Structure 1
Amino acid sequence: MARNGVSLDDKFDLRKERVFLSGTQAVVRLALTQKERDRRAGLNTAGFISGYRGSPLGGLDQQLWRAKKVLDPNDIVFQPGLNEDLAATSVWGSQQAEIRGEGRYDGVFGIWYGKGPGVDRTGDVFRHANFDGSSKHGGVVALMGDDHTCESSTTAHQSEFAFVDAMMPILNPAGLQEILDYGLVGWSLSRFAGLWVGLKCIKDTIESTAVADGSVDRVRLVLPEIAMPPGGLNIRTRHALEKEELLHRWKKPAALAFIRENRLNRIVMAGGRRPRLGIASLGKSWLDTLEALDLLDIDEKRAANLGLRLFKVAAPWPLEPEGVNRFAEGLETILVVEEKRALVETQIKEQLYGRADAAMIVGKKDEENRVLLPAWGALDATEIAVVIARRILAYADDAEIAARLQQLEHAAAVFKTATDVAVRVPHFCSGCPHNSSTVVPEGSRAYAGIGCHYMVQWMERGTEGFTQMGGEGANWIGEAPFSTRGHVFQNLGDGTYNHSGSLAIRAAAAAGVNITYKILYNDAVAMTGGQPNEGSLSVDLMARQVAAEGAKRIALVSDDPHKFPRATAWPAGMTIHHRSALAEVQEQLRDVQGLSVLIYDQTCAAEKRRRRKRGLMPDPDKRVVINHLVCEGCGDCGVKSNCVSVQPLETKFGRKRRIDQSSCNKDFSCLEGFCPSFVTVHGAKLKEGVAVSPGKLPSIPEPAIAPLDRTRAILITGVGGTGVVTIGAVLGMAAHLDGYGVGLIDMAGLAQKGGAVATHMKIAPRPEDIHSIRIAAEEADTVLACDMVVAGSRKALASIRPGESQVFANLHETYPGDFTRNADFSLPTRRLKRAIEERAGAGRAHFVEAQLLASALLGDAIAANMFTVGYAWQQGGVPISRASILEAIRLNGVEREMNEAAFEWGRLAAHDLAAVERAAGVATEPTRAPTLSEVVARRVEFLSAYQNAAYAERYKARVERIAALERALAPGETALAAAVAHSLFKLMAIKDEYEVARLYTDGAFERQL
């Protein structure tokens, strides 16, 4: 039993009412809750869930699979769809059993899920299914996953209008709690009105984690008494025109009656005796609006004095008019705060049109037709607060609001004018098959598509342009007749092929265009978490399918071509090659007239890593090590492998290369550089850390942590794939264990591929004290900069409140994918550090070599993030108890001992850095740049061993001659002489076979190992 009776199983235990869970876990609990509510109501119902993964709903299927042991006993079936529209058709079918009297249950409640583009492609199903309707004791809730800021999508989505067009009522939850609440409302509404109901899901809700009230009976609903048509409103067989009439004449009014009876749209602040300004908002924007009022220091009492009325909209379509009329009564101005295109604003205008006392209604634009709240991007609390303050000051002379406005305008200006000191661009994982598979022959051109290979467009590989999912290559059908180019390559992932891409291949074959589809079979849907493809897709099945579609030539390229059984039923004429023959095979395929297909077979690197950790895949007993004395620093290994585990190593002889053993996924493509500095080591283990058990550390005084009296905001920045999200989850659970309200959002996008990650975290005395979880400009109390590059981004820097925020930064330089293409790439570490120090203010930024120390102490670079947490906690930057942090680490269960030790060593580093350095055997003070004489002396010593003392003296004499000339012409300067010292040394110390042999046998390499 965990501390305070909390365990990880609470999220699906309906006996536990106060639960800490993510948005996708809330959907699982939602289904369980509906089953229990039906049971209590005497109904024997079942559940059916189907959809297709995609951000921000990318992890829902994983949560449903993990919850199978609790879903099965509750008759809830999860059947992932091959694509979104077929999944929606399956959910439609769940409502049909009782029509024919063949149902085994009283009804089946359904959930469909899909991201914005999936909503678009499913429009025909939504229209048909909603025309048919829902069953009396079933009902359907459709989760629309919208990516408003295009963080992990090819377009920004706003799916409400697709649902409006299908005449499906919409609910827009504000926060995770309302996913639980509105989901139950949605099923009740669906059953009552015989309609499918849409539930808006964006990153800030469905990908957030928070403390919620999971009480089964929390939501109490009333069914209105209204006139019903013969046969009622629920699903049954009818003529299409009957369905249309029923939809407009009966079902929509029924939905409005349900919304009105249950006061789903409600006045939250009345506005006092003389309300003048009314604000209507919904969903994420509602939370942003509450946050904006906090920024203006406006509570309910102050709002009443200012004549400010607030209207919370739960159901934006159809917008119930009686609630709008109550809200609008007596107001002079109505401000509608909603993201993207106006949906509520236009309906309010329509409903109030023609009234003599109608208020001025503004939102997307003001009364002068100027942009007020943009319909593009996303709104934030600061932006909304500025608009509200200006509206209040238009009718009230309030010095406090005026002062707050000035501060907010300054913060907004800082954010608007801020620039990124550096940018961490997402990249393929170490060992990713895309590192090799996306190369095209010189002179050829390729298209990208949906999937990880989308990122190849910024890697200078002759690839540009993409289509919607499933359209890959079909654009060439229209371009080819009008282009001077005779052939293109088209990248296609196996997940997209399975989803809908096979139809594009059929279309290309039918059109007869010259195109080569490069299908990557990587055995997992890598972009959304490594899920398996639906069905039994395999390399040989795919090969037979494309052959049947009319491919003129098929080639299989694999990292292990011998793994396929001899009896495999390959299509006639197909050839099989090792991946080293990729260039030759592509040159052959581009000369084929018509459709050709190259299948590239190699398991996803991230999935390999997961399977090896779980013992499901053998871990090669081999590692690659670079002898840095042999390495010339040319960077060819990085070019050949395109791998981010090939990192720079600054040595006394200049920049060389090293393999980051913590991130290496053992793809071994770096060996294709054919460089004598590369060595494969067999039968060896990575060196363990030197740390003693944290229990044996000296006693460290604990900082005084006062109980929370307000909401605290913590921003965590880092690199995708290094455990930053886990740090947020651990701290969130720890805050929950302390009895606080907590909210988390992980801003990852494509960052699982080594890009920028930022976790926004807020902790408050009560869950309801947290409004918008996103940290606005100058709102962060603490920044845990696990990576300084991300901390130096404009958004992160703008979140720092000068003179008040505390920043705790890891000084380690983690090089981005740019280094694979530019051997001289360097990070602007000094500028990053200076920017953070200047923004935070004197004494507010604290820097530590977290990765260097954690790696030396614990043997794994992944420990650096928890080390940083301990470093910050000891200095009062994390207002959570130590006991709860350690308990959360235990509950998380991953590398428990290492993470506990990392936290404690981080604490000690804050208290006594010298003691930690002694234990680690490293010094973290910046090294002094060597003088010219030191550079020369080191190389003289090397050249003496390389050949003899006379040879070394020749080198020294030449450098000294250049140095003398430089002193004569430019006294005090040594840049020219230093360049000569480095370059002449490389010229004179040529690494022929004898020298390479010497460098492997003089003992230095053994010491390096």
Structure 2
Amino acid sequence: MALAAVSLDDKYVLEKGCVYLTGTQALVRLPMMQRQRDVAAGLNTACFISGYRGSPLGGLDQALWSARRFVEKNSIHFQPAINEELGATAVWGSQQLNLFPGAKYDGVFAMWYAKGPGVDRSGDALKHGNAAGSSRYGGVLLLAGDDHTCKSSTLPHQSEYAFMDACIPVLNPSGVQEILDLGLYGWAMSRYSGCWIAFKTIAETVDSSASVDIGPGRIEIVAPDDFQMPPDGLNIRWPDQPLDQVYRLHKYKLYAALAFARVNRRDRIVIDSPRPRFGIVTTGKSYLDVRQALDDLGIDAAHAAEIGIRLYKVAMSWPLEREGIRRFAEGLEEILVVEEKRAVIENQFKEQLYNWRADVRPRVIGKFDENHHWILPSNGELTPARIARVIAERIARFYTSPRIAERLAFLEATERQLSNNIVPFYRTPYFCSGCPHNTSTKVPEGSRALAGIGCHYLAQFMDRSTATFTQMGGEGAPWIGQAPFTQTQHVFANLGDGTYTHSGILAIRAAVAAKVNITYKLLFNDAVAMTGGQPIDGGLTVPALTRQLAAEGVRRIAVVTDEPEKYPAGTEFAPGTKVRHRDDLDAIQRELREIPGVTAIVYDQTCAAEKRRRRKRGRFPDPAKRVFINDLVCEGCGDCSKTSNCVSVVPIETEFGRKREIDQSSCNKDYSCVEGFCPSFVTVHGGTLRKRSPGDLSETGLPALPDPPVPNLDEPYGILVTGVGGTGVVTIGALLGMAAHLEQKGCTVLDMTGLAQKGGAVYSHERIAEVPEQIHAVRLAAGKANLLLGCDLVVSASADALSKLQLGHSRAIVNNHETITGDFTRNPDLAFPAGEMQQSIAQATGTENAEFLDATRLATGLLGDSIASNLFMLGFAFQRGLVPLSSAAIERAITLNGVAVDFILQAFAWGRRLAVDRALVETRAAPATVP
């Protein structure tokens, strides 16, 4: 098959056809498309983007920076805010441009972004901005990143109600394609109605990838010709009185948005029936889940129409356009509303239908059925399996089939199996190797600490005498409410440098004003590690930070660092600031806890993950120093793990029992493990790790590797990739997605990470089909994984992974290397239940369909770095005939990616080679003998 001519720049430069991009990249392309539409309409506009990062929008700023040359070419100005409400206020200012002389553009359309809690804290700014309105050739799109299942948040959130309270219409895209389609529609609606427009984003849309149509003629937007617009319009103006703004909003602007929705028909009947009986209403992600549920029940569009099912897809979930509702509801006996979290659409449907005659008014159910039984709960996440059960039950009075009975029986059997088959051994997020928080979050005996927002939040789950947390920016403030009522005289509070800049400085100011005894530990790590290593907004330095703290009234300040020598005499610290080595942290903490009032420790050490990134790019010193453990001397006591809290100190089973070794592939050269003064440690200065010569990896003289027969694509093919955060699981998904795009197949990829980049579990869902229309939900439904590519045994044996497998249908290729979890740092005798986990997987697929190999050992032996193991696994699975793509497409995707191309190609090739000649690969991977 000839591969399509593709460039990585296509996602931003092509003007028609299909491009492959992530949801985040679609948000970057979106303002470019709006600018191009404006130019075609004869308008000279610009775009302003501001907001504050947070999952699932944690990588938007990095994507904008990466696309800088395309962004600037399209008159897009990106200014990240120090917090969400100030970003929203800046967006308000962009709409005021043409109220005053000097404007260089006809208007500025704006995009604001924030995680759900950022929507909450920005309520006042959003209300004021929406009341004031948008400009005629501007418009405002508000991206709200919601985390329905609390994967990477302190609480789950749903932003619709905050926007409803501010009278801001809400658009709810269902996938990457609709990010582009509804985004353009949102700006047009904002310009017409004068409203700011909310745009709901979740992980399933933003963290997914797909091939999408970017043709300029795809979206046709029209303005209503029957809406009674006031003579002075609905856009922002000055002067403008508050009561006039509220009158305009409630009398006209919301109804203008409804009229705009009515004529553009974004809410639409997707499946109709000549004899409709049962209606389903849904929006956003839930729409894809409903389509998947119907597919799982054997009900396609034609079959649904035949048996009387009508499906209504809502684009604007609030306020709901009523004429579309009425057209949909006519003739139905019952309507099921499927939406995540609290009811939004359901309540509006009931309100619209309330005055219908009882003999024609359909029953409306959603969160509860007519008997007030909870059928689609608001406290979690809806899945195709749950939705399928409800649909099957509701249509059972007029339709059933063997396929439905079979699917329901499978779901019940899966639940029974999982309840009995899960090994209670979990991979949870943990500090990275060499993380500063391994040391900085320790507290002296007799003290306790309060946790904060950031990676150091994880300290609560370790033996750190750290408990309770707050919202972002409230760190330490709970102590103000406790201190007067307890015999405890003092606490520590952890506060990250990003949070300090965002809003945390106010918490310190409040503690000073309250005169409580507290020591803030300002964890200065030189990067926002939680969301990918972005720089701290504003360029704060440690000396400047000490001066700010002193100006706020902090009584005593100490700087603790792993490199005190980088602060020579004369550095402009606040008067009285001490600079000490991190080895002295315990003594410094004991000293400061005895001082009345507010004190502070600035713990200065660069984020370990960021160090690693910078070293790869040659932008950070890479010491020619490595630490090893002589296992013949090691007594296996685990003191090195306890001292360093480092997950690169791993167990090694020997004939003399369990010992320790340093995983050189993951070690970030923090060296804190040496502080245990153990005689088994060996420090090598000036040496480097031995790598195999290119000749050892040469395939010269070896038989060519033929492409195996590929699986057919009569229906979408599902691949679930499981692994550990930071090891390249997401890379596999990106490569498979691009390879499918090169072959002009339909493909979606969903990366489920959450806190996983801190060493936790990662799941990547790939669905590949002949055409995009075959794919509905981006997440694999229960039993729908054709292949489990298990890059980590622990994650592969989890309930989330096993639920995607079906006996006799799914194949599993699993790396059975025993990669220890963070719990090992506290429990040196922790047993790794490898056999039990392998058995769980084999039981889920059938023994003959599960294959296990130590890919980490083999890939490290061949290529000198365990990071190669995941691509090695992909090569092995490919050669087994379990990936419905060609090797040419996968290799082209690797080349296009442009990162460590030769290394990754070698890993992929040697994985393939293992599938045909295990003895050869074992020989090549064997440790080199030292002369």
The yes-or-no answer on 1:629 pairing with 2:632 is yes
1:420-819 equivalent positions in 2, closer than 5 A? 420-689=423-692, 691-694=696-699, 696-706=701-711, 708-819=713-824
Structure 1 counterpart of 2:166, one-letter code: A
TM-superposed CA distance for 1:660, in Å, is 0.5
Which stretch shifts more, 130-139 or 3-12? 3-12
Conserved? CA contact 2:169–2:318, under 8 Å? yes
Which position in structure 1 is the counterpart of 2:281?
280
Conserved? CA contact 1:738–1:884, under 8 Å? yes
Structure 2 counterpart of 1:175, one-letter code: G
Which position in structure 2 is the counterpart of 1:190?
190
The 3 A distance-change label for structure 1 pair 692 and 35 is same
Structure 2 counterpart of 1:343, one-letter code: V
Which position in structure 2 is the counterpart of 1:856?
861
Which stretch shifts more, 181-190 or 740-749? 740-749
The 3 A distance-change label for structure 1 pair 856 and 29 is same
Conserved? CA contact 2:473–2:500, under 8 Å? yes
Counterparts of 2:100 and 2:260, CA distance in 1: 28
Q: Is the radius of gyration larger for structure 1 or structure 2?
A: 1
Conserved? CA contact 2:95–2:107, under 8 Å? yes
Conserved? CA contact 2:626–2:685, under 8 Å? yes
Give the secondary structure class of the aligned counterpart of 2:635: coil
Structure 1 counterpart of 2:346, one-letter code: E
Give the secondary structure class of the aligned counterpart of 2:326: helix
Give the secondary structure class of the aligned counterpart of 1:291: helix
Counterparts of 2:141 and 2:706, CA distance in 1: 53
The 3 A distance-change label for structure 1 pair 14 and 109 is farther
CA offset digits 1:205-227 (Å, max 9, x no partner): 01111111122332111100221
CA offset digits 1:23-60 (Å, max 9, x no partner): 11001110100000000000000000000000000000
Counterparts of 1:336 and 1:413, CA distance in 2: 28
CA offset digits 1:840-896 (Å, max 9, x no partner): 103100111111111111111111111111111111111110101111111112221
Conserved? CA contact 1:421–1:789, under 8 Å? no
The 3 A distance-change label for structure 1 pair 328 and 768 is same
Q: Pick one of 209, 219, 242 that aligns with 2:244.
A: 242
Segments of 5+ residues of structure 1 without an aligned counterpart are 924-1006
Counterparts of 2:702 and 2:449, CA distance in 1: 57
Conserved? CA contact 2:269–2:310, under 8 Å? yes
Which position in structure 2 is the counterpart of 1:885?
890
TM-superposed CA distance for 1:838, in Å, is 1.2
Give the secondary structure class of the aligned counterpart of 1:468: coil
The 3 A distance-change label for structure 1 pair 236 and 623 is same
1:390-409 equivalent positions in 2, closer than 5 A? 390-396=393-399, 398-409=401-412
Conserved? CA contact 1:803–1:842, under 8 Å? no
Which position in structure 2 is the counterpart of 1:65?
65
Counterparts of 1:702 and 1:421, CA distance in 2: 39
Segments of 5+ residues of structure 2 without an aligned counterpart are none
CA offset digits 1:820-841 (Å, max 9, x no partner): 1111112100101111111110
Give the secondary structure class of the aligned counterpart of 1:316: strand
Which position in structure 2 is the counterpart of 1:926?
none
Counterparts of 1:819 and 1:29, CA distance in 2: 44
TM-score, length of structure 1 as denominator length: 0.90
Structure 1 counterpart of 2:710, one-letter code: I
The 3 A distance-change label for structure 1 pair 173 and 558 is same
Structure 1 counterpart of 2:648, one-letter code: S
The 3 A distance-change label for structure 1 pair 799 and 706 is closer
The 3 A distance-change label for structure 1 pair 877 and 397 is closer
Conserved? CA contact 1:415–1:795, under 8 Å? no
The yes-or-no answer on 1:366 pairing with 2:369 is yes
Which position in structure 2 is the counterpart of 1:92?
92
Counterparts of 1:581 and 1:416, CA distance in 2: 49
Give the secondary structure class of the aligned counterpart of 2:708: coil
TM-superposed CA distance for 1:802, in Å, is 0.6
The 3 A distance-change label for structure 1 pair 456 and 524 is same
Conserved? CA contact 1:14–1:33, under 8 Å? no
The yes-or-no answer on 1:303 pairing with 2:308 is no
TM-score, length of structure 2 as denominator length: 0.98
Which position in structure 2 is the counterpart of 1:847?
852
Counterparts of 2:455 and 2:711, CA distance in 1: 45
Which position in structure 2 is the counterpart of 1:944?
none
Counterparts of 1:334 and 1:401, CA distance in 2: 20
TM-superposed CA distance for 1:696, in Å, is 4.7
Conserved? CA contact 1:14–1:215, under 8 Å? no
Give the secondary structure class of the aligned counterpart of 1:50: strand
Give the secondary structure class of the aligned counterpart of 1:576: strand
Give the secondary structure class of the aligned counterpart of 1:658: strand
Counterparts of 2:428 and 2:5, CA distance in 1: 42
TM-superposed CA distance for 1:389, in Å, is 0.8
Conserved? CA contact 1:393–1:402, under 8 Å? no
Which position in structure 1 is the counterpart of 2:337?
336
Counterparts of 1:870 and 1:689, CA distance in 2: 20
TM-superposed CA distance for 1:649, in Å, is 1.3
TM-superposed CA distance for 1:606, in Å, is 0.5
TM-superposed CA distance for 1:405, in Å, is 3.2
Counterparts of 1:385 and 1:412, CA distance in 2: 15
CA offset digits 1:460-513 (Å, max 9, x no partner): 110010000000011110111112211110000000000000000000000000
Q: Pick one of 273, 281, 286 that aligns with 1:271.
A: 273
Conserved? CA contact 2:473–2:504, under 8 Å? yes
Structure 2 counterpart of 1:840, one-letter code: T
Give the secondary structure class of the aligned counterpart of 1:260: helix
Structure 2 counterpart of 1:47, one-letter code: C
Counterparts of 2:630 and 2:414, CA distance in 1: 50
TM-superposed CA distance for 1:412, in Å, is 4.9
TM-superposed CA distance for 1:573, in Å, is 1.3
CA offset digits 1:546-571 (Å, max 9, x no partner): 10111111111000111014232111
Which position in structure 1 is the counterpart of 2:923?
918
1:217-256 equivalent positions in 2, closer than 5 A? 217-225=217-225, 226-237=227-238, 238-256=240-258
Structure 2 counterpart of 1:45, one-letter code: T
Counterparts of 1:267 and 1:821, CA distance in 2: 57
Which stretch shifts more, 104-113 or 905-914? 905-914
Conserved? CA contact 1:694–1:900, under 8 Å? no
Which position in structure 2 is the counterpart of 1:164?
164
Give the secondary structure class of the aligned counterpart of 1:250: helix
Conserved? CA contact 1:430–1:643, under 8 Å? yes
Give the secondary structure class of the aligned counterpart of 1:469: coil
CA offset digits 1:412-455 (Å, max 9, x no partner): 55456663442001110111000000000011110111100000
The 3 A distance-change label for structure 1 pair 202 and 806 is same
Which position in structure 2 is the counterpart of 1:930?
none
Structure 1 counterpart of 2:124, one-letter code: D
Which stretch shifts more, 725-734 or 252-261? 725-734
Give the secondary structure class of the aligned counterpart of 1:855: helix
Conserved? CA contact 1:621–1:683, under 8 Å? yes
Which position in structure 2 is the counterpart of 1:205?
205
Structure 1 counterpart of 2:432, one-letter code: C
Percent identity over paired residues: 57
Conserved? CA contact 1:415–1:777, under 8 Å? no
Give the secondary structure class of the aligned counterpart of 2:905: helix
The aligned length equals 924
